Amino acid sequence: MTDSTSVTPTDSDLAFTRESARGTIAEPAYAGALSFMRRRYTRDLAGADVAVMGVPFDLAVSGRSGARLGPRAVRAASAHIAWSAPWPWDFDPFERLAVVDCGDCFFDPGYPAQVPEAIAQAARDVLATDTALLTLGGDHFITWPLLKAHAAKHGPLSLIQIDAHSDTWEDEPGRIDHGTMLWHAVREGLVVPETSVQVGIRTHNPDPLGFTVIDAREVHLSGPQAVAARVRGIVGNRPCYLTFDIDALDPSAAPGTGTPVVGGLSTFQAQEILRGLEGIALEGMDVVEVAPAHDVSEITALAAATLACDLLCLHAAGR
């Protein structure tokens, strides 16, 4: 049964009261329990197509801290866009997908060495139910344990990374750092660099580890449709994982992040790239590095919530 499109006094607080994991209902953006896109909070994933999970972790940052508050901020901002199907997609992802919010991954920050496995196990628990996972960070380190869980289920993945930084700088085994986790991922065979691509990069790294790099200048000069077409050609029909670091956006569009870099993408360019990827075999996805203490009028959190919703649309379109 599909939810109706209006709210009565008896079905407010949709994070707890909605009866179906499908459909879109309008609820006041200024009130109610703040699940992602007003989806039902539950750990029962029976019948769910996608679970949204927060990972409030920021112990791996090299710049400004605060991304541990990102999942909460993105959920809150999503209330402003949860009342209607996302524009300009021509369908409502919540009609095609049963989506729930399963809350946040738990870990003890007093034992940082145990955190990576806690994140990976939380992801494995979701994926074991044949439910896809949309993760809200948290700093970008979390993508490494998430890739471990996804690669265990789907095999080595093609990676689409939209970011200001390559995050492939060489490191030592066992270190926790949000700028080196993809170096670890490549060494562990979690991703296939030859069919992976980084978009929006605007920092130096002498060794791309085999990734195709589409830097920010190319995005600006060639346009988002051309970039999306190039990404589709690189990834092909392989199972892929998409990670979106909010610092891929220019600081004018996303000031609330730990390591802002000027010259980045506009929200329009980012959305057009995602829309241009329709048809890819998207198996997992995350949006990371929202640090609300550095935000202005919640524009970073709103951008992240909107892009996360676009990822749900992209996943739905590929089914």
The answer to whether position 73 is within a domain reads yes
pLDDT of amino acid 4: 46
**Of how many residues is the chain composed?**
319
Residues of the chain with pLDDT under 70: 1-11
The answer to whether position 157 is within a domain reads yes
How far apart are alpha carbons 43 and 126 in whole angstroms? 9
pLDDT of amino acid 144: 98
The answer to whether position 105 is within a domain reads yes
pLDDT of amino acid 27: 81
Total count of domains within the chain? 1
Sequence-distant contacts of 24-32: CB under 8 A, at least 24 apart: 24/82, 24/83, 24/84, 24/85, 24/92, 24/94, 24/95, 26/82, 26/83, 26/84, 27/79, 27/82, 27/83, 29/79, 29/80, 29/82, 29/83, 30/79, 32/79
The answer to whether position 2 is within a domain reads no
CATH code for the domain in which residue 188 is found: 3.40.800.10
pLDDT of amino acid 9: 44
Facing residues of 265 across strands? 249
Q: Could you read off the pLDDT of 154-195 as tens digits, one per residue?
A: 999 999 999 999 999 888 888 888 889 999 999 999 999 999
The answer to whether position 1 is within a domain reads no
The answer to whether position 3 is within a domain reads no
Show the domain range for 39. 9-317
Contact call for residues 79 and 309 (beta carbons, < 8 A): no
Q: Could you read off the pLDDT of 37-89 as tens digits, one per residue?
A: 999 999 999 999 999 999 999 998 988 999 999 999 999 999 999 999 999 99
The answer to whether position 153 is within a domain reads yes
pLDDT of amino acid 8: 52
Residue 167: exposed, middle, or buried by beta-carbon count in 10 A (0-12, 13-18, 19+)? buried
Residue 184 φ/ψ, nearest 5 degrees: -65, -45
Of 117, 120, 115, 114, nearest in space to 146 by CA: 120
The answer to whether position 4 is within a domain reads no
